[in-house]
Amino acid sequence: MPLELEDRPAFEEPWEATAFALAVQLHRAGAFEWPELAAELGARIAARPAAAYYEHWLAAVEALVVAHGIATEDELDATTQAWHEAAEATPHGKPILLHGTRER
């Protein structure tokens, strides 16, 4: 029996939920409108239909962040690199802290 849509989790990985929440918060802060995100997401899906949905979602959000001058591509790349380095250096079960942040 095929897996029904409602039987699947909304997010396959924790980062997908984080990407979704990030988009919601950026929208609430006025960074972009939903139709902009929908158009960017649709274009990305059309260009690479086999890629995972939330990879498209994150790429669309990042493109809008750059387009609206919130961050540069270099800043996004540096933050991504810092996140990967911090994640690798963090013991399992401990919070991942980026340089310049503090544990609460």
What would the pLDDT profile of 28-38 be if each residue is shown by its tens digit?
Answer: 999 999 999 99
- Annotated domain spans of the chain: 13-89
What would the pLDDT profile of 4-28 be if each residue is shown by its tens digit?
Answer: 656 778 889 988 998 999 999 999 9
Query: Alpha carbon of 16 to those of 1, 52, 55, 99, 101: distances in Å?
Result: 26, 10, 8, 23, 22
Is residue 46 scored above 80 in pLDDT? yes
CA separation for the pair 18, 1 (Å, rounded): 31
What would the pLDDT profile of 47-96 be if each residue is shown by its tens digit?
Answer: 999 999 999 999 999 999 999 999 999 999 999 999 899 989 999 999 88
